[in-house]
Amino acid sequence: MRARGTLESARWQYKVIGKEIHRLERGRCFTYALAAMEKTADRWRTVEIIEDVTPGKELACWMAAVFTKHQLSPLHFRDAVEDVLGCPDFTHGFDS
């Protein structure tokens, strides 16, 4: 029997995607997207990707880990990202 909340028993998984982009005001820089993945019978399927979430890898990894651990439904994915980014209590102390 597998422990509840392990990735093997998880329906949802969140991944960090790093990407180099070009911005007029900053030139070339790195940003991180988040992807919501759904477990199907034989693979993980991408449900939604939110681009350019944060320039901070640590914050992106933290969000992906928390969303996966708590099995956040992709229905609430965008709201959860906005809530995290809009709350200094969540983002304080992370790289940017």
Is 46 among the domain residues? yes
Is position 96 within any domain? no
Q: Is the residue at 82 inside a domain?
A: yes
Domain that holds residue 80: 12-91
The angle subtended at Cα 35 by Cα 29 and Cα 74, nearest 5°, is 140
pTM: 0.84
Say how many Å lie between the first and final Cα of the chain, rounded.
Answer: 40
Q: In this predicted model, what pLDDT tens digit does every residue of 13-71 receive, in sequence order?
A: 999 999 998 888 878 889 999 999 999 999 999 999 999 999 999 999 999 999 999 99
The DSSP H or E segment spanning 10 is none
Identify whether 29 is part of a domain: yes
What are the E-state strand segments in 1-96? Answer: 12-23, 27-39, 44-54
Tally of residues, the chain: 96
Is 51 within the bounds of a domain? yes
> How many domains would you assign to the chain?
1
Is residue 43, in this structure, part of any structural domain at all?
yes
Cα–Cα distance, 68 to 13 (Å, whole number): 5
What is the structure's pLDDT at 80?
97
